[in-house]
Structure 1
Amino acid sequence: MPSPALNRASRRGLADESADRIRDAIFSGEVPPGGPLREVELATALGVSRGSVREGLRILEREGLIRTGWHRGTTVIEITPEDVREVYAVRAALDRLAAVTARDTATEAQLGELDALVGAMAAEIAGNPSGQRLVSLDIAFHDAVYLAAGNRRLTEAWRAVRSQVYLFQLRRVALGFAHYRARVVTEHRDLATLIRSGDRDTLAHTAEEHVTTAHRGLLAHLP
C-alpha cells in the first residue's frame, strides 16, 4: 500500500513528533488496523531520519498501538475480542476510581469544563455529527476527569491505555455509529452531573457501566 500522506515533522523533538504524526495517521484511518509501517517510507514522508522514525515507533509500541515482529515487520494492531476485553477491563477500574476521586477534588472551573465538553457533544449531534469529532470530545472529557482527580499515578495509568482506548472508540464508531451516537451525550452528561453533586456509589456504578456499554458496543460489531 502507498505510504500515508503525513504532515512533515517539526524540530521540537523528532522522535516524539514522528510518533505524533504517525499516531494521527492511525487515528484518522490513513493507516488501518493491520496496516504496515515501513521506516524508509515514513522517514521520507516526515522528512526525518530513520532513527527518529524508529524511536517514534517504539513510543507507539509502548502505547500498544503497533506491533513489531521479526518476520512480520511493524503493523498497526488488529483489534481482537481479547484486546477489547483486556483494555476495557483496565479502563473500567481506572475510570471508576478517577470519577469518584474527581467528585471530591474537582474545582468549579474543572466541573465547568466537563459541562462545556458535554455541551460540545450535544452541539455536534445536533448538526451533522462526525464520529471522529465525537470521539475526540469523548476522550477530552475523560482526560478532564483524570485531571480533576489530581492523582499523578492514576493519570499515568490512564495514559498507558489512552491511545488504545482512542483507537478502539474510533473502531466502535466506524462499525456502529448509531449505537454510539444515541448514548454519547446522555452518558457523559450523567457522569458530569454525578461528579458535581452525586452519590458516590451511584457515580462509581455509572462510571463503570459507561465503560461496559462501550465494551459491549464494540464487541457486538467487531468481525
Structure 2
Amino acid sequence: MGSALPKAALPKAARRGLADEAADLVREAILAGLFPPGAPLREVELATHLGISRGSVRQGLAELEHEGLIRTGWHRATTVIEVRTEDVEEVYALRAALDRLAATTARRSAGTADFAELDRLVDAMDTECRATADSRRLVALDIAFHDQIYAAAGNGRLTTAWHAIRSQIHLFQLRRVESGYDHYRARVVDEHRELAALLRDGDVRTLARKAEEHVDSARRSLLAGLPNASPTSP
C-alpha cells in the first residue's frame, strides 16, 4: 500500500542538539546572574563564546523567547526580560491556578517516593538556610520542589503549562530574593514543609488554599521590592 502523504508533505527532521545546548547554556547564564534583566544577548558574541554557529544560537534564543525568558523583535535588540509589575501579575496569577491544580491532583496520585523526594528537598532548603545560605541554590531547591509536585501529579499537559512559565518564575524568584532575602529565608522552609505535609495527608480544600496563598505570598513579596508597584494588588 502506498504512502498517504504526498511527496514533500513533511520537512526533514532538524538536528537540534546544538540549539538545545545553546538554550540550556544561555538559560543557565541568565539564572546565574551573568546576564541580568534587561541585558542584551548578542548572537555573534554568543556564537563565538559557545563555539557554535549563529544558526544554532538563533534557534536556542528562539526557545528561550518561547519560554518568556528573553524578548526580541524585528529591528530590536534581544534582551533578558525585565521584571515588570504587569509581567509579575500575569505570571503569578497563572502560576496560582496551575499550582492549585497540581497540588490537588498530586494529593490523589503521589506515592511514597514522591513524598520522600519532597521531604529531601525541604531538608536541603533547611540545611542551606543554616549553612552557606546561597540564595541561588535556595531558589533552585524551591523550583525543584514544585517540579516534583507537577511530576507527582502525572498530568502531561499540566506539566507542559508549568514549563511554559517555569523559567520566568525562576528569574522572578531570584529577583524576589535579591530585594528581600531575609524575608524569603525566614519563610521558605516552613511554607514548603507545610505544603509537603498537606500533600501527604491533608484536607484537599486546605491544600488548595495553601497552594494559592504560597504563590500570592511570593507575588506580594516580589512586588514590594519593585519600584512603583503595589504589593497588595489582587
Tell me which of 111, 115, 121 is aligned to 1:111: 115
Which residue matches 1:168? 172
Identity across the alignment (%): 68
Which residue matches 2:204? 200
Which residue matches 2:41? 37
1:149 maps onto 2:181 in alignment:
no
Q: Please state whether the residue corresponding to 1:79 is helix, strand or coil.
A: coil
Q: Which amino acid aligns with 2:25?
A: R
Matching of residues 52-201 of structure 1 within 5 Å: 52-201=56-205
Q: Which amino acid aligns with 2:86?
A: E
Q: Please state whether the residue corresponding to 2:79 is helix, strand or coil.
A: strand
Matched residue count: 213
Computing the radius of gyration over CA atoms, which structure comes out larger, 1 or 2?
A: 2
Displacement after TM superposition at 1:12 (Å): 8.1
- Aligned-partner Cα distance in 2 for 1:70–1:180: 39
4+ residue runs of structure 1 moved beyond 6 angstroms? none
Displacement after TM superposition at 1:69 (Å): 2.6
Question: TM-score scaled to structure 1, two decimals?
Answer: 0.94
Cα deviation per residue 1:117-173 (whole Å; 9 max; x = unaligned)? 000000111112011000000000000000000011100000000000000001111
Q: Which amino acid aligns with 2:135?
A: G
Q: Please state whether the residue corresponding to 2:37 is helix, strand or coil.
A: coil
Q: Please state whether the residue corresponding to 2:180 is helix, strand or coil.
A: helix
- Aligned-partner Cα distance in 1 for 2:130–2:174: 20
Displacement after TM superposition at 1:179 (Å): 1.2
Q: Please state whether the residue corresponding to 1:68 is helix, strand or coil.
A: strand
- Aligned-partner Cα distance in 2 for 1:47–1:163: 24
Which residue matches 2:7? none
1:216 maps onto 2:215 in alignment:
no
Which residue matches 1:8? none
- Aligned-partner Cα distance in 2 for 1:31–1:117: 27
Q: Please state whether the residue corresponding to 1:37 is helix, strand or coil.
A: coil
- Aligned-partner Cα distance in 1 for 2:105–2:205: 12
Q: Please state whether the residue corresponding to 1:183 is helix, strand or coil.
A: helix
Q: Please state whether the residue corresponding to 1:75 is helix, strand or coil.
A: strand
